[in-house]
Structure 1
Amino acid sequence: MKKFLSLLLLTIAGLLNTLQAQVSFSVSQKRVSPTEIDVTFKAKIAKGWHVYSTNIPDGGPTAARFGVDKADGAEPIGALKPGPGVKSMHDEVFEMQLSFFENTATFTQRIKLTKKDYKLKAYLEWGACNDQNCLPPSTTEVVVNGSDGPTGEAAKAAAAAVAQQPGQNTNVATGVQNNMLVDTVATIATTDTAAVAPVVAPADSSDVARWYESSIEQLKHWGEDGGTHNRTLWYIFLMGFVGGLITILTPCVWPIIPMTVSFFLHRNDDRRKAIRDAIIYGISIVVIYVSLGLIVTSVSSANTLNDLSTNAVFNIFLFLLLVVFAASFLGGFEITLPSSWNNKVNARASSASGFMGLFLMAFTLTLVSFSCTGPIIGFLLVEVSTAGGSILNPTIGMLGFAIALALPFTFFALFPTMLKKAPKSGGWMNVVKVVLGFIELAFALKFLSVADLAYGWHILDREAFLALWIAIFGLLGAYLFGWIKFPNDDDDTHTSVPRFFLGLGSLAFAIYMIPGLWGAPCKAISAFAPPMYTQDFNLDQVKVEAHFRDYEEGMAYAKKAGKPVLLDFTGFGCVNCRKMELAVWHDAKVRDIMNKDYVLISLYVDDKTRLPENIEVKQADGTIKTLRTVGDKWSYLESTKFGAQTQPFYVPVDNDGKALNHSFSYKEDIPGYVKFLQEGLKNYRDKK
């Protein structure tokens, strides 16, 4: 189990690897009788990967299954059948017997035709893993249609055969029927979640068409607020830099600094050359860690990261992963890489010369210090990769981390006498690890909360989240005061002055969150806690809530009320959305304008609620995109109407759906947001 965890942590970048073609499926159809067609899915599987078969026990990886989006005159009959070559073995990770394919895989589903003109739109859902990570559940779509189906008695017999099937097969996922094919987003069906405000009468079809017309050119006319992305990249860099500084203070890295610097300075009598080698050594550290960020960047896209950021399986996995990290830092066990790896790399570093030898020495440091750097790197990559914004986030974050980690080696090589003044390693380093363990445990709850919000489970509402954070930071304060101890702590009974102030701050933070149990905003944690509307008991009546969560119902109401609309493209897992809602929307002036002068429509792009009917839209390149969830619909609306994919994304529109001002993204600027709202309101009144 430890070996598996070690390999998994080393390849944390592989968690985001959904675009890499490790598995490619082709689809073929074969007529086997006048009323039956076999649909066959064949896969080519990359070396080291495997695709799971159909009979996977509950709690295991993703099993192959056949799903139906639309069926008219054609129905799946019988179970999805795996082809030859299925292997079976006991998996120690899942602790169960699993069947899977390697190199190639084949699945066949028989389709029964029940009338002359038939059409079936369906998909194969499958899962794939290697020894280190798994791809998220993926689908391969297929369409079976024609006009050569049975008629008369043959059609009746085929329909009767389908009706006699003993219930729905366990590996067949039935979707909705009679979905609409639309050529433009203007004709998207009006099926969504219930609105917050009372339901209004359906709008005229001409109004609906105008509401969905593109406003991209209008936004270009108004100009955009372009300061957000640069600020985000600087923030990501700073986050990585702080992570690197923290890593330096851990017992896996700090003791290595004087030994390594001493080695360089005594390697030869030429101090200038020794300093040069130390600088190259530091640069090698930067290259190694930035390469990891580049790997994540190269295999990911903005859409991929957005989908993963709200995927339930992905977020629950991250929750469990961070809990494992926290347990390791608290002293429960040590996460280490196989010693043979260290020995091999160290031997190559000793035998190599020049730049390659220095690079391999830097790589040796990476392996030796993995038990401390691994959890921090993993947390950093997870956090920046799912935080939205630029696709360069992982690379920028790792650049900051690597620079901070390389600084002490280069600095002490340049000024070796300063080594004598550096604090010696000791028990204080374990305190750093334990504190990091508490922090990772707290952040683990964020990922569980994202999955809970996206799927509406309601197991971690705001007060439950706050109660757990209050307990975690209260216990952290107790630890820093020396009231509780962990396995690797020293037996010293005294509390140092720095520990006293850190403990005081942790306890104060826990006390600060207590009023949040009754609805206090607690702005300092707004980026992490679930939104205020999940609070069951709320004494705070000072709030802004969306009037509608349905675009068309909200637009129809706004037209009737004669008010402009503020569109809020948001997400359950959107950290910056929560910050804006508590830090900006909670301001009295902002709240007054939004509640009195606008109709607020909040559209959650990660809402996993299934649409009553799937929606098919033809894209600019001629391909068909299937929208299956409410979040899919709002994400598509944001990209086609406004050319945006980020959240939060605010834009005021008139009663025809035309932009009244430039958009506004994440920026905790209350005067700027007030000006943004007032300009939109002024432009609306001028047009009227």
Structure 2
Amino acid sequence: MFTGVIHSANSQILEPVKWISEVEKVSDADYNITFKAIVAEGWYIYSQKSSDNFIPKTIFKFNNQEQNYKLNGITIEPNKEPIFDKIFKQNVVKFKGEVLFKQKITTLNSNTKQIKVFVEYQTCDNTKCVPGDFVFDLSLDGSTIESKEIAIDEKSKKLSDELELNITGWNKYKKHTVEEKSNLSIFFLGFLGGLIALLTPCVFPMIPLTVSFFTKSSSNSKKGLFNSLLYGFFIFIIYTLLSVPFHLLDSLDPGILNNISTNVTLNLLFFVIFVVFAFSFFGYYELTLPHSWSAKMDHKADKIGGFIGVFFMALTLTIVSFSCTGPILGTLLGSSLTADGGTIQLTMGMSGFGLALALPFTLFAMFPKWLKSLPKSGGWLQTVKVVLGFIELALALKFLSNADLVEHWGLLKREVFIGLWIIVGIGLMLYLFWKIKFPHDNYTKKLSNGRIFTGIVVIVFVIYLIPGLTNTKYANLKLLSGFPPPIFYTLYDKTSEYPLNLNCYKDLNEGITVAKAENKPILLDFTGWTCVNCRKMEEQVWSKSKIYKILKQDYIIISLYVDDNQKELPKDSQFNYLRANGTVKNIKTYGDKWTALQTTNFHNNSQPFYALLNTNMELLNTTSAYEPNSEYYYLWLKTGLNNFKEYILK
């Protein structure tokens, strides 16, 4: 007979599953843990091993195992053949009735008496799926104890329950995603940033020096080639690993990246840092990491030798080149950790950056004769550095704008922002044509072809910006959508403070009430003040005449700003929300609430994110994310509207 402790779910959501756990002591350090899921009749729980991202998985997370214990092998589940699933329309491995999951562990120290385990899963019947999560507190002294439910008061339980919209219709539509496209785009942006970094005075001169060192100091050419390849590989790995801490943060709180990107203090800090970097690029002072850091790394490289020595040489390059790569990496960091970005995009961007930096060291080692074709270091590197300084000033304004939008200060209205960009552009143009100069410039009256070409590009860009200062139809600078503040954040009088003067409701209940009264479908729009892709959708897709018409006439738009973290909820509406991983989030602001609402109902925390619903919270079409193809988006809206008309005729 199976004995153990029954664990109850938190009261936020419907739970067709009960859990029992049992701990069996095998030796002084070894234990067998069994989790038993008791699934209600008509419901199923899914395997841990699904290879399809759209099929839910059962996931066990063992807390603090690095310090206290290790897992012996994987968590074992029943061996069962796939069967057809009516919701996902394919064969999947799923279980019903009573299901046993088993895991062996070995404790690493005698003080380990208790461990915590999280289980996340979805339970589905033939019409719907319900998310579930449990927290197990397991004693290892031979007995079992009931897991301690995290205490949240009745008010918090009630308000948490209200986040659950009980959305139906998931079985009718496949999930829509554009993740792969955006990840590839951010990788190439990172790669482009790395190529730019190669042209800076901190990195470019290192290419021939480093490659020559490897090829000449090694006992044979093959070893020199191998070390150069290894050197490039380590550069790539170092920059990729810089994104790992953000994955850990994201696993603790799915909204953490949103909070980072919209945090006013951090955005102001980025603004100051970028301005400081800009004037460093102009040559007024030099920013470097402490010399002791690079000296210590260089010493280790000389002392150790071999694989590890090459690694420390790569680390030394990373540290020494920081004054030039830091601002470019900061731009990549700031653009990736946005409401519409995320840790995967950050990793892709950092990987692209590292690959671009590593390539020349590898290629020139393979073809050393190419070294002779490299241009000599000189004044052109100083020009590149100053140009980057102007770009840093322009990017600094974006971070200041983020803070201004979130706090609604009104300091950087759209026209002010664009005007400042025009001033920066004019300054860059004057520098390129030698009308102004900076310290360390080697002034020459003769203009190179490169300076002339770049100057012309800057002039064209400044001319393009000028209509953005007006209150005309040409003010929508579509090529820059998402970078300047939104069109409705303007100095001119506007009849609406919403995108394109559309009547968007910022309160969920108010929007649903209006939709019922007017008998219209709902476009639920999860957006953000600092969301670049949200602005691109509004200014490049929503602005299309036929899309604008259907949005204005046929839909009730409910725009929920997940980064509205400065506007607090009324005191009686603030509560503690129990997350799926067992931690508690204090819901104090509207941004907190809408983030929790999105993750609870859609298991998604990216923006923009769209759902078409009727007033009974039934899906009218697949959910959608960033979709720059206006024809596809129009068809998506039109299909949802037709499905709504069929619904009301029933």
Q: TM (normalized to structure 1)? A: 0.67
Which amino acid letter does the alignment assign opposite residue 503 of structure 1?
A: G
CA contact (8 A) 2:528 2:562 kept: yes
- The answer to whether residue 191 in structure 2 is matched with residue 241 in structure 1 is yes
Q: Could you say which residue in structure 1 is the equivalent of 2:260?
A: 308
Mapped partners of 1:446, 1:271: distance in 2: 49
Mapped partners of 1:295, 1:323: distance in 2: 26
Tell me the secondary structure at the aligned position of residue 557 of structure 2: strand
Aligned counterpart in structure 2 of residue 604 of structure 1, from 551, 557, 561:
561
CA contact (8 A) 1:293 1:397 kept: no
What is the correspondence of 1:45-64 to structure 2 with a 5 Å cutoff? none
Cα separation, partners in 2 of 1:295 and 1:552, compared to 1, 3 Å: closer
**Residue 681 of structure 1, CA deviation:** 0.2
Mapped partners of 2:578, 2:311: distance in 1: 48
Q: Could you say which residue in structure 2 is the equivalent of 1:295?
A: 245
What is the correspondence of 1:159-178 to structure 2 with a 5 Å cutoff? none
Which amino acid letter does the alignment assign opposite residue 524 of structure 1?
A: L
CA contact (8 A) 1:229 1:389 kept: no
Mapped partners of 2:577, 2:339: distance in 1: 30
CA contact (8 A) 2:537 2:627 kept: yes
CA contact (8 A) 1:661 1:680 kept: yes
Which amino acid letter does the alignment assign opposite residue 454 of structure 2?
A: L
Which amino acid letter does the alignment assign opposite residue 522 of structure 2?
A: V
Cα separation, partners in 2 of 1:333 and 1:300, compared to 1, 3 Å: farther
**Residue 640 of structure 1, CA deviation:** 2.2
Q: Could you say which residue in structure 2 is the equivalent of 1:479?
A: 431
Which amino acid letter does the alignment assign opposite residue 639 of structure 1?
A: T
**Residue 583 of structure 1, CA deviation:** 0.8
**Residue 643 of structure 1, CA deviation:** 2.7
Aligned counterpart in structure 2 of residue 616 of structure 1, from 556, 567, 575:
575
Which amino acid letter does the alignment assign opposite residue 559 of structure 1?
A: K
Mapped partners of 2:493, 2:464: distance in 1: 17
Q: Could you say which residue in structure 2 is the equivalent of 1:567?
A: 524
Which stretch shifts more, 612-621 or 497-506?
612-621
CA contact (8 A) 1:518 1:538 kept: no
**Residue 342 of structure 1, CA deviation:** 2.5
Which amino acid letter does the alignment assign opposite residue 272 of structure 1?
A: K
- The answer to whether residue 402 in structure 2 is matched with residue 450 in structure 1 is yes
Q: Could you say which residue in structure 2 is the equivalent of 1:534?
A: 489
Mapped partners of 2:195, 2:285: distance in 1: 24
What is the correspondence of 1:19-98 to structure 2 with a 5 Å cutoff? none
Q: Could you say which residue in structure 1 is the equivalent of 2:534?
A: 577
Mapped partners of 1:293, 1:181: distance in 2: 35
CA contact (8 A) 1:584 1:668 kept: yes
Which amino acid letter does the alignment assign opposite residue 634 of structure 1?
A: W
Give CA deviations for 1:319-340 in whole Å, capped at 9, x if unaligned: 1111111111121211112223
Q: Could you say which residue in structure 1 is the equivalent of 2:415?
A: 463
Mapped partners of 1:337, 1:331: distance in 2: 17
Aligned counterpart in structure 2 of residue 223 of structure 1, from 174, 178, 201:
174
**Residue 623 of structure 1, CA deviation:** 7.1
Q: Could you say which residue in structure 2 is the equivalent of 1:658?
A: 618
- The answer to whether residue 158 in structure 2 is matched with residue 183 in structure 1 is yes
CA contact (8 A) 1:241 1:397 kept: yes
Q: Could you say which residue in structure 1 is the equivalent of 2:546?
A: 589
CA contact (8 A) 1:482 1:494 kept: no
Cα separation, partners in 2 of 1:666 and 1:538, compared to 1, 3 Å: farther
- The answer to whether residue 628 in structure 2 is matched with residue 677 in structure 1 is no
**Residue 512 of structure 1, CA deviation:** 0.9
CA contact (8 A) 2:488 2:494 kept: no
**Residue 661 of structure 1, CA deviation:** 0.9
Aligned counterpart in structure 1 of residue 628 of structure 2, from 632, 646, 668:
668
Mapped partners of 1:317, 1:308: distance in 2: 12
- The answer to whether residue 227 in structure 2 is matched with residue 274 in structure 1 is no
Mapped partners of 1:281, 1:583: distance in 2: 44
Tell me the secondary structure at the aligned position of residue 560 of structure 2: strand
Which stretch shifts more, 349-358 or 657-666?
349-358
Tell me the secondary structure at the aligned position of residue 533 of structure 1: coil
Q: Could you say which residue in structure 1 is the equivalent of 2:508?
A: 551
Q: Could you say which residue in structure 1 is the equivalent of 2:477?
A: 522
Q: How many residues align?
A: 489
Which amino acid letter does the alignment assign opposite residue 615 of structure 1?
A: Q
Cα separation, partners in 2 of 1:538 and 1:225, compared to 1, 3 Å: farther
Cα separation, partners in 2 of 1:553 and 1:486, compared to 1, 3 Å: same
Mapped partners of 2:152, 2:611: distance in 1: 42
**Residue 624 of structure 1, CA deviation:** 6.1
CA contact (8 A) 1:315 1:451 kept: yes
- The answer to whether residue 205 in structure 2 is matched with residue 258 in structure 1 is no
Which amino acid letter does the alignment assign opposite residue 451 of structure 2?
A: R
Mapped partners of 1:618, 1:439: distance in 2: 42
Give CA deviations for 1:107-152 in whole Å, capped at 9, x if unaligned: xxxxxxxxxxxxxxxxxxxxxxxxxxxxxxxxxxx9999xxxxxxx
Segments of 5+ residues of structure 2 without an aligned counterpart are: 1-149
Which amino acid letter does the alignment assign opposite residue 245 of structure 1?
A: L
Cα separation, partners in 2 of 1:561 and 1:426, compared to 1, 3 Å: same
Mapped partners of 1:443, 1:340: distance in 2: 31
Which amino acid letter does the alignment assign opposite residue 221 of structure 2?
A: R
Mapped partners of 1:547, 1:334: distance in 2: 49
CA contact (8 A) 2:205 2:377 kept: yes
Q: Could you say which residue in structure 2 is the equivalent of 1:34?
A: none
Tell me the secondary structure at the aligned position of residue 574 of structure 2: strand
**Residue 544 of structure 1, CA deviation:** 4.7
**Residue 538 of structure 1, CA deviation:** 6.7
- The answer to whether residue 359 in structure 2 is matched with residue 407 in structure 1 is yes
CA contact (8 A) 2:243 2:343 kept: no
Mapped partners of 1:281, 1:472: distance in 2: 38
CA contact (8 A) 1:518 1:540 kept: no
RMSD: 2.5
**Residue 218 of structure 1, CA deviation:** 2.5
Cα separation, partners in 2 of 1:540 and 1:473, compared to 1, 3 Å: farther
CA contact (8 A) 1:521 1:582 kept: yes
What is the correspondence of 1:420-431 to structure 2 with a 5 Å cutoff? 420-431=372-383
CA contact (8 A) 1:349 1:357 kept: yes
Tell me the secondary structure at the aligned position of residue 651 of structure 1: strand
Cα separation, partners in 2 of 1:617 and 1:653, compared to 1, 3 Å: farther
Mapped partners of 1:180, 1:347: distance in 2: 60
Mapped partners of 1:635, 1:575: distance in 2: 17
Tell me the secondary structure at the aligned position of residue 569 of structure 1: strand
Give CA deviations for 1:426-461 in whole Å, capped at 9, x if unaligned: 111111111111111111111111111112211111
Q: Could you say which residue in structure 1 is the equivalent of 2:271?
A: 319
Tell me the secondary structure at the aligned position of residue 183 of structure 1: helix
Aligned counterpart in structure 2 of residue 214 of structure 1, from 137, 148, 166:
166
**Residue 279 of structure 1, CA deviation:** 0.7
Cα separation, partners in 2 of 1:285 and 1:181, compared to 1, 3 Å: closer
- The answer to whether residue 590 in structure 2 is matched with residue 630 in structure 1 is yes
CA contact (8 A) 1:282 1:409 kept: yes
Cα separation, partners in 2 of 1:220 and 1:380, compared to 1, 3 Å: farther
CA contact (8 A) 1:544 1:595 kept: no
Q: Could you say which residue in structure 2 is the equivalent of 1:65?
A: none
Cα separation, partners in 2 of 1:259 and 1:625, compared to 1, 3 Å: closer
Mapped partners of 2:217, 2:290: distance in 1: 29
Mapped partners of 2:608, 2:211: distance in 1: 47
Mapped partners of 1:408, 1:666: distance in 2: 35
Aligned counterpart in structure 2 of residue 232 of structure 1, from 161, 179, 182:
182
Mapped partners of 1:187, 1:566: distance in 2: 20
Which stretch shifts more, 531-540 or 276-285?
531-540
Work out the percentage of aligned pairs sharing the same amino acid.
Answer: 43
**Residue 408 of structure 1, CA deviation:** 0.7
Which amino acid letter does the alignment assign opposite residue 476 of structure 2?
A: P
Mapped partners of 1:592, 1:234: distance in 2: 33
Mapped partners of 1:483, 1:345: distance in 2: 42
